[in-house]
Homo-oligomer: A and B are copies of this chain.
Amino acid sequence: MSSEIKPYGTLQANTHITSDRWFEYGVHAYPNHTDYSGAVWHGTYLAWMEEARVDYLRQMGVSFADLVELGCDLPVVDLTIRYHRALRMGESAIVRARMQDMSGVRMTWDYEIQSLDRQETYVSAQVVLVPVDRDKGKIMRRLPANIQEALMKLAQ
């Protein structure tokens, strides 16, 4: 049997960073992710992509929960998703995320959700985020310095 469950925070067993800066996050299609079709409900992929993003930021030293606590949110403002093939209950997949561009405070992320052997692509997507000042409810003109620094690393 395995040793004890590791505290979240160190690079987890279900995540991986490739040499070309794709962050990989493993997911599994449990019953609550599915709909009547026996496959994953089309909104579930948005949850998985958000989870991968949160984990990737953490790898770069940014705790999303702390960011929110400090008054900065990172809402999705644009999302384009193409569903190539359904992931069925009981199947596993890799969510691949990469920061593709950072233009001003506007961050564009690319996504691919693939089979474990990379032979099938279930979903490809692009997501745009902007930082919002939670108190003012407005887009921030610039990011807090530590976040800026971490995100610049992702975009390099």
**Measuring CB to CB, which residues of chain A are less than 8 angstroms from any residue of chain B?**
1-8, 11-17, 24, 26, 28, 30-32, 34-38, 41-44, 46-47, 50-51, 54, 63-66, 68, 73, 75-83, 86, 88-92, 94, 116, 134
- With A31-B54, A32-B41 known, 15 other A-B pairs at CB within 8 A are A1-B11, A2-B15, A5-B13, A7-B116, A8-B28, A13-B13, A31-B35, A32-B46, A32-B51, A42-B50, A42-B79, A43-B47, A46-B46, A63-B90, A76-B83
Q: With A5-B116, A35-B34 as given contacts, are A83 and B90 in contact (CB-CB < 8 Å)?
A: no
Contact in complex: A92, B8 (CB < 8 Å) = yes
What secondary structure prevails in chain A residues at the interface with B? mixed
Chain B: minimal CB distance from A76 (Å): 5
B-side contacts of A35, CB under 8 Å: 31-32, 34-36
**If the complex has contacts A46-B46, A68-B89, A75-B86, are A17 and B34 also in contact, measured as CB distance less than 8 A?**
no
The 3 closest A-B pairs by CB, nearest first: A65-B90, A13-B13, A8-B92
A107 CB to closest chain B CB (Å) equals 14
26 contacts between A and B (CB under 8 A): A1-B16, A2-B11, A2-B16, A5-B94, A5-B116, A8-B116, A13-B13, A14-B14, A30-B51, A30-B54, A32-B41, A32-B51, A34-B35, A35-B35, A36-B36, A36-B38, A42-B50, A42-B76, A42-B79, A64-B89, A65-B89, A68-B89, A77-B83, A78-B81, A79-B80, A79-B81
